[in-house]
Amino acid sequence: MTFIILMLAMVATFIFLIEKRKKSRKLIEETIPTVDFGDDSDELDIVHISDIHYLAPSLTDYGDAFSQNVEKGDGKMVRYIDQVMDSFILEMIKKKPKAVIVGGDITYNGEKISHQNMAKKFKILKDKNIDVLVIPGNHDINNEKAKSFKNKEDLSVESVNEEEFKEIYSNFGYSDEDPKVIARDKNSLSYMYMINKFQCILMIETSCGKNDLQLSNQTYKWIERMLHIASINNLSVISVTHQNILAHNKMFISGYKIENSSKLIKLFSDHNIRLNLSGHMHMQHISENEGVSDAAVGSIALYPSLYACIHTDVRDNIKYKTESLDVDYWAQKYGWKDDNLLHFKDKSKDFFIECTRYQTNPTLDKVNTTLEEKREMMDFMIDTNLYYFSGRMGEREDLNKDNTNYKKWKKYCEDTFLMSYLNSIYEDSSRSHNKLEISM
């Protein structure tokens, strides 16, 4: 009798699971009933960029206000960001990925006209059969800092709210008519997109409302449902966030990492989601925990203008690598006369160094030592920044705690912010952060 009861229970469970699978498959089939993915390839190539910080050229004359308010920052080449993005569009047309994923901070500070300009650029890719998927970053929506910079004045300009953001980017993940969108979260600007017959992209928004630098309970439950649907239908998932889901550096946690991301990591690990694409820090860095990798791509606006190329296959093997946007090539090809564009790589590097000097000088000015030692300490800081932000610390064996100039920083600047910053870097792994392979 007990045996019969057990057998009936097993049969009932089996039938339940089959019906559950059918129901989920039906949901997907009803959501994307007539999608033609264009080929039968079992491989997929996508590109990830983040932190464009695009400022529409019509909002500035690149005069005093621009120089003082925009270029005294962290080395982003906002002066040439329009040409940088035109170069990126051309490079993507040449590369022909299946999709370009834009991970937030699309605009400098959420200016409506900047969003509109970017949507026009993304449409060029869409017209070339390259999908473009966007989510907002913390700079993009309801930003009170949206301004124009002309002459010596910075004046407030119109930003966008969530509905306006969705309208502007309706062709890039936010159209209700797009059959590839499996589902949307009603409580955020998150959505899941079926990019081909075996792969989904889970775009998770963590920059607005209840999801400001965290996951609300409602959004978490929605993600859980999406991963369940993907799992029982044998669909692989790559997730995307603007902020990081793992710590990358002890000084880049508060304000950078999603506050309650630990439960998301656990959820991803349980569902075998191995890769999350993020940004926000403007530096190239990969962290891993519980089998989940968080690959934070550097800002496309910052030397060396990195974007990430991700290749996957039907067996869920993933290859991740970065490439540097070749603005020099496109400037020459299309007849630009501006020397800063024709030699963009060198000029953007020089500007990054200039900004590092600007940020470092106030600390070194207070140090009681020779000018020669100050120069050596400055050079050490510059080299550290250049290699750390580009994810290449592993290429310089001399950049370590045994370096004489690291010891000078420790001797003269022990209690300063910059020494804490250097410590956070030299306590980090010196591995390459520009490549990653995940094998199932």
Backbone φ and ψ for 237, nearest 5 degrees, come out as -135, 135
Burial class (CB in 10 A: 0-12, 13-18, 19+), 33: exposed
* Rounded to 5°, angle at Cα 417 from 415 and 422: 95
Q: Report the candidate in 90, 91, 123, 97 with the shortest Cα–Cα distance to residue 41.
A: 97
In 190-250, alpha helices (H): 217-232
Give me the residue label for tokens 């057990």.
6
According to the model, what pLDDT value does residue 4 have? 63
Q: Which helix (H) or strand (E) holds 3?
A: helix 2-31
Place of tokens 């792969």: 199
Q: Does residue 390 or residue 314 have the better pLDDT?
A: 390
List 107's β-bridge partners, or say none.
54
| Nearest to 382, CA basis, from 359, 404, 407 | 359
Tokens found for residue 183: 């589902």
Over residues 336-372, the pLDDT tens digits come to 999 999 999 999 999 999 999 999 999 999 999 999 9
Angle at alpha carbon of residue 54, lines to 50 and 58, rounded to 5°:
170
290 pLDDT band (50/70/90 cuts)?
very high
In the chain, the amino acid numbered 141 is I
End-to-end CA distance of the chain: 43
How far CA 297 is from CA of 1, 238, 394, in Å, comes to 61, 15, 17
- Reduced to 3 states (helix: H, G, I; strand: E, B; else coil), residue 368 is coil
Q: Say how far apart CA 405 and CA 417 lie, in whole Å.
A: 17
Tokens of 52: 């464009």
CB atoms inside a 10 Å sphere around CB 145: 13
pLDDT tens digits for range 145-202: 999 999 999 999 999 999 999 999 999 999 988 999 999 999 999 999 999 888 999 9
Q: Is the pTM of this model over 0.85?
A: yes
Lowest-confidence segment of 34-38, 215-219, 276-280 by average pLDDT: 34-38
